[in-house]
């Protein structure tokens, strides 16, 4: 078992061990380590929660994410990802737990809203539509996507994750993570540029 010494300075080639030590220390109740851990990552974790939940629920879920992390520090495996992807994975599970409880209702809600856009894997799309959109439009568009798409998009963006890290968050292979990110971005772009999705306004009457 690693000695829980807190090292927070990281150099190249020492990617995982700083995280490992910090997480172990936090898990063993080292309050400064806990605070360092959550203050470093609270923005990303909160962003993921905030796009799935009402704001006060998001705060709770963000806090619960860190508490779950402190309680399950032994599961952190530095060879499989970073503290950030590990924490976002726990946050994703917090969201999944809530989806599971709400699944039937939200399913009905989303179906009735008819907000989903349906497209193929291989359709080219212009992601500059997203990059050029103003923040408000992007926020509104995110809310029109499925919870799953939001999770993929926001986890990746909030954590600035590469494919391997995103895969660790989502619990799938790197290839699957890429596919899911691509599809989610495609759907986001379609919402932001409805003329591209053709067939008129697909969100009317919701």
Query: Which of 155, 157, 151, 141 shows the shortest CA–CA distance to 197?
Result: 141
Among 116, 191, 193, 196, binds another protein (CB under 8 A): 116
Distance, CA of 47 to CA of 139 (rounded, Å): 11
Tokens matching residue 23 = 């997480």
DSSP 122: T
Q: Which of residues 50-109 bind another protein (CB under 8 A)?
A: 50-51, 53-55, 57, 59-60, 62-64, 66-68, 70-75, 77, 80, 82-84, 86, 89-90, 92-93, 96-109
Distance, CA of 137 to CA of 124 (rounded, Å): 22
Is the CB of 124 or the CB of 131 nearer to another protein? Answer: 131
**Smallest distance, another protein to C-beta of residue 95, A:** 10
Is the CB of 59 or the CB of 193 nearer to another protein? Answer: 59
Q: Which of residues 142-201 bind another protein (CB under 8 A)?
A: 142, 146-149, 153-154, 156-158, 160-163, 165, 168-169, 171-173, 175-176, 179-180, 183-185, 188, 198-200
Is the CB of 99 or the CB of 193 nearer to another protein? Answer: 99
The residue assigned the tokens 């306004």 is 201
Among 117, 193, 195, 196, binds another protein (CB under 8 A): 117
Say whether 5 sits in a helix, a strand or coil: coil
Q: Which of residues 23-42 bind another protein (CB under 8 A)?
A: 27, 29, 31, 34-36, 38, 40, 42
Could you tell me where the beta strands, DSSP code E, fall in 93-199? Answer: none
**Smallest distance, another protein to C-beta of residue 89, A:** 3
**Smallest distance, another protein to C-beta of residue 58, A:** 8
User: Is 3 an interacting residue with respect to another protein (CB under 8 A)?
Assistant: no
Distance, CA of 81 to CA of 168 (rounded, Å): 7
Distance, CA of 149 to CA of 144 (rounded, Å): 10
Alpha helices, H only, 54-146: 55-71, 83-113, 128-132, 135-144
Distance of CA 198 to the CA centre of its chain: 29
**Smallest distance, another protein to C-beta of residue 39, A:** 8
């Amino acid at each position: 078992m690693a000695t829980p010494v807190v090292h927070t300075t990281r150099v190249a080639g020492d990617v995982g061990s700083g995280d490992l030590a910090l997480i172990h220390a936090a898990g063993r109740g080292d309050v400064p380590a806990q605070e360092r851990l959550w203050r470093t990552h609270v923005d990303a974790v909160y962003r993921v929660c905030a796009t799935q939940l009402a704001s006060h629920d998001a705060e709770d879920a963000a806090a619960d994410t860190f508490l779950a992390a402190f309680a399950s520090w032994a599961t952190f495996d530095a060879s499989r990802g970073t503290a950030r992807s590990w924490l976002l994975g726990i946050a994703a599970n917090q969201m999944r737990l809530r989806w599971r409880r709400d699944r039937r209702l939200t399913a009905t809600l989303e179906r009735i809203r008819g907000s989903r856009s349906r497209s193929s894997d291989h359709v080219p799309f212009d992601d500059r539509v997203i990059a050029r959109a103003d923040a408000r439009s992007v926020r509104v568009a995110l809310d029109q996507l499925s919870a799953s798409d939001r999770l993929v998009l926001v986890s990746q963006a909030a954590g600035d994750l590469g494919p391997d890290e995103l895969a660790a968050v989502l619990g799938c292979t790197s290839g699957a993570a890429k596919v899911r990110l691509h599809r989610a971005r495609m759907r986001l772009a379609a919402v932001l540029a409805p003329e591209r999705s053709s067939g008129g306004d697909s969100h009317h009457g919701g």
